[in-house]
Amino acid sequence: MKLFLKRFIPEIIKSRIRKSDFWIKKNARMLSSSSKRLDLCAAQFAHVLHLSGNPPLKDKVCLEIGSGWVLTHAITCYLLGAKRVIATDISPLAKPSFLPSALHRAIPSIVRDILSPFCEHSEIRERLNNLLSISSFTFDILKK
């Protein structure tokens, strides 16, 4: 039924709906509990690092292009010891307020274990514990 009705809604209306704060928050909330959970993003990152020959990120500046609503790939760079992470997108979409959901729904031991071939396990644990202790994320907190 939904798909049938979608065909009759003009594209200009669909565009406005997609740009609405309600739509963005709804999608960010959904992503933070599914494909943008930290453990899933860490697994994707580990796969790419493995395929590229395990280049270390420690003390590097990382650029994430297309960071989207939930910044868990950028957080993964931080966990791997990046000195600085620059997350960018074509539009300012990021909603740091959904990071706690993405972090707390993840299984911490999986995050640590899957990233440990690319950085010291104890360093990942310390950084992850630091993140998990933050109750509310803002852009200012992320900069620190």
136 pLDDT above the threshold of 80:
yes
Q: How many residues does the chain have?
A: 144
In angstroms, the CA 138 to CA 51 distance is 33
Stated pTM of the model: 0.83
- Calculate the average pLDDT of the chain: 87
Residue 129 tokens, joined? 């514990």
- Model confidence at 28, pLDDT cuts 50, 70, 90, reads confident
Tokens 């514990």 sit on residue: 129
Q: What is the pLDDT of residue 38?
A: 94
Q: What is the pLDDT of residue 129?
A: 96
